[in-house]
């Protein structure tokens, strides 16, 4: 089962624990001119809905590394029907580059009988209109490694070699227990499955809370891919996961270090300026009809705290290490101010 897929009408299997379908299209875009999918500026389009945490990762990394000029982006709306994500935010409901109304068309252009969920993020070959890959963890890793020659000057090193082994261990914990852990709670089909998932989630959050008590970022004094992967869950925690997914032992604001850390990242260029709180709430509360059958979207919570001082500077470090912050958000890719934390000030 895939949460952000075409399977809109059924996420919860009664009596069962949630089991994510992790079978993705594993093709890679490589810095090898002889590969099936070689790195080429302008050849591929990233399809990434702002509402989806897995897609949000790719939007952040693309911006941090300065890949906007070489990888274009298409953004479906926050909701989808039983078939796939749709481009309802674009004029005429059509992606202006690919010329399609729904992401499903790109998957079918590659695999006419594609049997799995139509997920974002997805990299699409513009000329053929065919999906190349929807393997979300590999996509961001390859943005760092395979597209290196096109990184902006001052781009951060999100995969530092000296801490890679430790970082991959941390990211496994984050994925299995936190990124996927909130879904395990929300889509639990029995009381027993829910309570087990709840305990696993908060055990992991407590572990990360302690780690962040003495380290500004997960791997030390500057941001890495691990921080990107944790942030997209944390930024959705109070608006969605606390209530909608019943992850309600405490809010994110009740964690001293996680809350300070999350605000530190939100206020860092490349993170908060990719977050659309309105789309996030619309997606979860409207699409997950078996969890929220009324499809009523809550007005709260108050988001103004995301812009309050975080005090994490006392731990030292610099978000971009020896690099620099990305420049202003590319024209046309801005999050509407009324969809941001600033709207609550």
In terms of DSSP bridges, do strands 44-47 and 122-125 run parallel, antiparallel, or are they unpaired? Answer: antiparallel
- Find the DSSP H helices in 80-190: 104-110, 136-145, 164-173, 181-186
Whether 183 is catalytic:
yes
Give the residue-averaged pLDDT of 2-6: 43
Which helix or strand (DSSP H or E) is residue 261 part of? Answer: helix 256-266
pLDDT tops 90 at residue 197: yes
166 and 220 in contact (C-beta within 8 Å)?
A: no
Helix (H, G, I), strand (E, B) or coil at 87: coil
pLDDT tops 50 at residue 8: no
- Domains of the chain (ranges, CATH numbers): 162-344 (1.20.1050.10)
Give the residue-averaged pLDDT of 87-116: 97
pLDDT given for residue 12 in this prediction: 83
Q: What is the pLDDT of residues 200-249, one digit of tens each?
A: 999 999 999 999 999 999 999 999 999 999 999 999 999 999 999 999 99
- Give the closest residue to 42 by CA, choosing from 69, 10, 8: 69
Residue 217 φ then ψ, to 5°? -125, 175
What's the pTM value of the predicted model, to 2 decimals?
A: 0.96
pLDDT given for residue 1 in this prediction: 34
121 cis-preceded (ω within 30 degrees of 0):
yes
Query: Is 85 part of any known ligand binding site?
Result: yes
pLDDT given for residue 10 in this prediction: 63
68 and 62 in contact (C-beta within 8 Å)?
A: yes
Q: Which is catalytic among the residues 44, 52, 194, 261?
A: 52
Cα separation, 162 vs 35, in Å, equals 29
Q: Which is catalytic among the residues 183, 194, 261, 284?
A: 183
Cα separation, 29 vs 147, in Å, equals 9
pLDDT tops 90 at residue 107: yes
Q: Lowest mean pLDDT: which of 17-31, 122-136, 256-270, 331-345?
A: 17-31
Whether 52 is catalytic:
yes
pLDDT given for residue 267 in this prediction: 98
How many other CB atoms sit within 10 Å of the CB of residue 163?
Answer: 15
Q: What is the pLDDT of residues 162-178, one digit of tens each?
A: 999 999 999 999 999 99
The whole-angstrom distance between residue 71's C-alpha and the CA centroid of its chain comes to: 17
pLDDT tops 60 at residue 9: no
pLDDT given for residue 7 in this prediction: 41
pLDDT given for residue 183 in this prediction: 98
Helix (H, G, I), strand (E, B) or coil at 112: coil
pLDDT-based confidence at residue 20 (cuts at 50, 70, 90)? confident
């Amino acid at each position: 089962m895939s949460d952000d897929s075409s399977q809109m009408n059924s996420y919860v299997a009664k009596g069962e624990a949630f089991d994510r379908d992790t079978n993705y299209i594993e093709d890679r875009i490589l810095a090898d001119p002889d590969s099936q999918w070689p790195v080429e500026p302008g050849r591929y389009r990233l399809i990434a809905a702002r509402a989806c945490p897995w897609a949000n990762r790719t939007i952040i990394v693309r911006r941090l590394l300065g890949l906007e000029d070489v990888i274009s982006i298409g953004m479906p709306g926050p909701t989808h029907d039983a078939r796939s994500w749709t481009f309802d935010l674009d004029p005429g409901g059509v992606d202006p580059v690919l010329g399609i109304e729904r992401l499903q068309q790109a998957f079918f252009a590659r695999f006419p009988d594609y049997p799995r969920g139509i997920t974002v993020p997805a990299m699409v070959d513009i000329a053929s209109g065919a999906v190349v890959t929807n393997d979300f963890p590999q996509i961001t890793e390859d943005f760092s490694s395979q597209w290196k020659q096109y990184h902006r000057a001052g781009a951060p090193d999100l995969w530092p070699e000296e801490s890679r082994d430790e970082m991959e261990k941390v990211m496994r914990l984050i994925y299995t227990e936190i990124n996927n852990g909130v879904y395990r709670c929300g889509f639990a089909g029995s009381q027993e499955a829910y309570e087990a998932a709840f305990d696993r989630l908060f055990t992991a959050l407590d572990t990360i809370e302690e780690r962040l008590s003495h380290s500004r970022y997960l791997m030390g004094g500057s941001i890495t891919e691990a921080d990107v992967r944790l942030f997209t869950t944390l930024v959705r925690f109070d608006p969605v996961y606390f209530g909608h997914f019943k992850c309600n032992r405490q809010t994110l604001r009740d964690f001293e270090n996680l809350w300070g850390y999350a605000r530190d990242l939100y206020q860092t260029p490349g993170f908060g300026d990719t977050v659309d709180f309105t789309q996030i709430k619309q997606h979860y509360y409207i699409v997950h009809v078996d969890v929220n059958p009324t499809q009523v979207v809550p007005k709260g919570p108050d988001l103004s705290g995301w812009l309050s001082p975080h005090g994490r500077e006392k731990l030292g470090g610099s978000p971009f290490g020896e690099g620099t912050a990305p420049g202003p958000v590319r024209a046309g890719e801005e999050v509407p101010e009324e969809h941001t934390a600033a709207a609550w000030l």
